[in-house]
């Protein structure tokens, strides 16, 4: 990334959303899916879904250093539901690098954060307060702390369940880690760029058991996630939701299974719900390649302004 672009990223600060999938998301469940009902994480219980996913025909476009893919699942073929996925796949050794972006004292669409910084692709980032604009999970960009876990709290322990996974950037490449319960544990790390979100979906090749007492976990929603493979390649996934006929969305257990089937060794859940947006520069619909849901229509015009984002350069 050019120096002036890096300065602009720092000037804007960096990315993602909370209320879309955490606070406000509970009001937007798929009708007919009772509270507490979720899919168990045992992979062998979903052999048919796994087999379908392995042979699914993705629409694919190759770019320099990354691949963009999309998949429309119809006829209730996956988890007894219709789905729509968009995927950015970055191979090991690619010159492409990630960065975080943050819009101080305001909210901006993911696509605008990408366009202002000359990024080639982007997704929404971590959780944020829609009324105060600030991140509600830890966020450090180029060494500057711009967000803390649950601002306004006075205790140092008992972080929220969506704050037990962190993404750090090493030379622009994603690396995941599990922070301890201290709300300020990230401050002791030397990394210049850290984004906390969660929960962790896959850790060291194993599906992470999810708590089943939150609709944030068990109901189907739009989802955004990043997964890292053992060879260093990584994927950025957006799963549309809140449109039962086209894209029902995923529970966190279902999201974890999809990422496991994509070959991820570690994977983190980012903000979702109405915040879920994927942008690829030069594509139709002003670069919006999924179906953000804030306008209540299955089109490309429902993008929600967010606090921060993850950018690909």
Segment 118-177, tens digit of pLDDT: 999 999 999 999 999 999 999 999 999 999 999 988 888 889 999 999 999 999 999 999
Residue 35 lies in a domain: yes
What does DSSP assign to residue 64?
A: T
Residue 107 lies in a domain: yes
Residue 151 lies in a domain: no
Residue 18 lies in a domain: yes
Residue 63 lies in a domain: yes
Domain coverage including residue 17: 3-132+208-227+240-263+272-281+296-312
Which two structure tokens, joined as six digits, stand for 271?
């903000």
Residue 179 lies in a domain: no
Q: In which order are the strands placed within the sheet that holds 144-147?
A: 144-147, 139-141, 194-197, 165-170, 173-177
- What pTM does this model have? 0.87
The count of domains in the chain is: 1
Whether the predicted pLDDT of 5 surpasses 50:
no
Residue 96 lies in a domain: yes
What does DSSP assign to residue 161?
A: G
Residue 194 lies in a domain: no
| CA 113 vs CA 68, 158, 231, 266, 288: distances in Å | 19, 32, 29, 26, 13
**Count of positions (residues) in the chain:** 313
**21-45: burial string, b at 16+ Cβ within 10 Å, e else:** bbeebeebbbeebeeeebbebeeee
């Amino acid at each position: 990334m050019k120096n002036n672009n890096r300065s602009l990223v720092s000037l804007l600060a960096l990315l993602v959303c909370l209320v879309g999938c955490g606070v406000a998301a509970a009001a937007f469940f798929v009708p007919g899916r009772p509270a507490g009902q979720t899919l168990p994480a045992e992979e062998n219980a979903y052999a048919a879904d796994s087999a379908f996913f392995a042979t699914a025909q993705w629409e694919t476009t190759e770019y320099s250093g990354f691949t963009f893919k999309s998949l429309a699942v119809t006829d209730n073929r996956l988890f007894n539901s219709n789905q729509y996925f968009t995927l950015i796949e970055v191979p090991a050794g690619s010159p492409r690098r990630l960065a975080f972006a943050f819009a101080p004292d305001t909210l901006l669409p993911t696509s605008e954060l990408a366009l202002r910084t000359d990024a080639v692709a982007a997704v929404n980032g971590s959780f944020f307060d829609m009324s105060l604009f600030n991140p509600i999970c830890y966020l450090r960009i180029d060494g500057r702390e711009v967000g803390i876990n649950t601002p306004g709290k006075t205790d140092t322990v008992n972080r929220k369940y969506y704050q037990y996974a962190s993404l750090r950037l090493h030379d622009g490449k994603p690396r995941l880690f599990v922070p301890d319960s201290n709300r300020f544990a990230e401050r002791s790390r030397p990394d210049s760029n850290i984004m906390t979100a969660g929960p962790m979906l896959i850790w060291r090749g194993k599906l992470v058991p999810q708590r089943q007492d939150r609709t944030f976990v068990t109901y189907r929603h739009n989802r955004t996630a990043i997964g890292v493979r053992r060879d260093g390649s990584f994927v950025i996934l957006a799963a549309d939701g809140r449109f039962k006929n086209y894209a029902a969305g995923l529970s966190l257990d279902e999201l974890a299974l999809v990422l496991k089937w994509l070959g991820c060794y570690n994977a983190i859940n980012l903000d979702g719900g109405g915040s879920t947006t994927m942008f690829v520069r030069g594509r139709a619909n002003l670069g919006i390649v999924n179906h953000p849901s804030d306008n209540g229509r299955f089109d490309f015009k429902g993008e929600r302004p967010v606090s921060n984002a993850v950018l690909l350069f």
